[in-house]
Structure 1
Amino acid sequence: MLYPTPIAKLIESYSKLPGIGKKTATRLAFHTISMEDEEVAEFAKNLLAAKRELTYCAICGNLTDDDPCAICRDETRDETQILVVEDSRDVTAMENIQEYHGRYHVLGGLISPMNGVSPDDINLKSLISRLMDGQVTEVIVATDATADGEATSMYISRILKPAGIKVTRLARGLAVGSDIEYADEVTLLRAIENRTEL
């Protein structure tokens, strides 16, 4: 079915968002046109503000509205540890558990030879610069348990270990509530390797 041009363009815009298919984009577009003008104006204002007012922290690469970010400005954080993550959503996830009190470094992606993403394409140079002052004693790599995440963690380990910096990886294994019978071999292997004493 052909829609009038304004709604067709709105559907097309929503379709560009990750995880939004044509049906969902159509539903969102029709919902948007049913909203009050003030709600739509507020929605548009929030979209523009997020795009215009957010930047990446010059120190850690985290998404922020104040550079440097609040975490990098916090003098109570442990400066001897840096937790390396793929993106800002991972920082939020770690902060939500309230157990990690060190610094962060956001890569802004993962090394992915299959997709043409090399170490030069992600935020690695600034990580190495941050380690030059000798304060950091441990880098904790917290990339996803995917081929790209593993490739990135191995690369980071390979370039940092000669400098005498301890490089660790988040433990991998069975998720809480998962069934052993449905776990893949890599997950089971990681669970055995990272077992803890009771």
Structure 2
Amino acid sequence: MLQSPLIESLIEAFRVLPGVGPKSAQRMAYHLLQRNKSGGAKLASVLSDAIEKIGHCSLCRTLTEEPTCHICASERRAIGELCIVESPSDVQVIEQSGIFAGQYFVLMGHLSPIDGIGPQQIGLDLLELRLQQGDIKELIVAMNASVESEATAHYIQQLAAQNSVVVSRLAQGIPMGGELEYLDSGTLSQAFLARKQLID
């Protein structure tokens, strides 16, 4: 069936989102056009503003409309602790927990030589400069459990060692309330490797 080229363009535009296939994109497009044109107009306006005005923090590389994000600008944050994460959404998750009071460094990905993503593409040259300044005492690696993330963590560990900075890593393994029979072998092996001695 032939349909409007503009509708086709709208459907195709929705497909840039992760996990959105042709059918989902078509449903979204028709929903906005049939039932929520005002919502669609607001979405278009906010999206346009965000694309134009949001950039990267000059210190941690997270997404912000200011030159320096509110976390890096805060005087309450411990400047000696730097948590390394892969994406801005990781920062949000950690912030919502309220458990960390230091600063962040957002890689915006991980090393992947096959895809042409080297140290400079994920800001490791900027991280090295921060380590050389001498303010950072501990790097906390909070990255996903994947082969690429492991390689990235190893690279970061080498940078830290060259600058006499302690590196720690978030524990991985059995989640609170998890049952052994439902765990995959990778999670179970991480749990064994990260086991701790029980203290009375």
Bin for the TM-score computed over the shorter chain: over 0.9
For 2:10, the equivalent position in structure 1 comes to 10
Q: How does 1:47-62 map to 2 (within 5 A)?
A: 47-62=47-62
RMSD: 1.5
2: distance between equivalents of 1:167 and 1:59? 19
Query: Is residue 138–residue 165 contact of structure 2 (8 Å, CA) maintained in 1?
Result: yes
Structure 1 residue 158: Cα displacement = 1.6
2: distance between equivalents of 1:93 and 1:37? 32
Task: Point out where structure 2 has 5 or more consecutive residues left out of the alignment.
Answer: none
| Most deviating of 107-116 and 85-94 | 107-116
For 1:141, the equivalent position in structure 2 comes to 141
Letter in 1 for 2:92: T
For 1:162, the equivalent position in structure 2 comes to 162
Structure 1 residue 193: Cα displacement = 2.6
Structure 1 residue 31: Cα displacement = 0.5
1:123-153 residue CA offsets vs partner (Å, 9 max, x unmatched): 1111111122212110011110011111110
User: Are positions 1:150 and 2:147 aligned together?
Assistant: no
Letter in 2 for 1:31: H
For 1:65, the equivalent position in structure 2 comes to 65
1:48-88 residue CA offsets vs partner (Å, 9 max, x unmatched): 01111111000110111212000001011111100001111
Q: How does 1:1-198 map to 2 (within 5 A)?
A: 1-196=1-196, 197=198
Structure 1 residue 176: Cα displacement = 2.8
1: distance between equivalents of 2:99 and 2:162? 29
Query: Is residue 131–residue 163 contact of structure 2 (8 Å, CA) maintained in 1?
Result: no
| Most deviating of 153-162 and 89-98 | 153-162
SS of match in other structure, 2:190:
helix
- With normalisation by structure 1, the TM-score equals 0.93
Structure 1's consecutive aligned runs of 4 or more residues displaced over 4 angstroms after TM superposition are none
Residue identity (%) = 36
Letter in 2 for 1:13: A
Structure 1 residue 113: Cα displacement = 2.6
Task: Point out where structure 1 has 5 or more consecutive residues left out of the alignment.
Answer: none
1:65-118 residue CA offsets vs partner (Å, 9 max, x unmatched): 212000001011111100001111111011000010000001111001332321
1: distance between equivalents of 2:38 and 2:159? 53
- With normalisation by structure 2, the TM-score equals 0.92
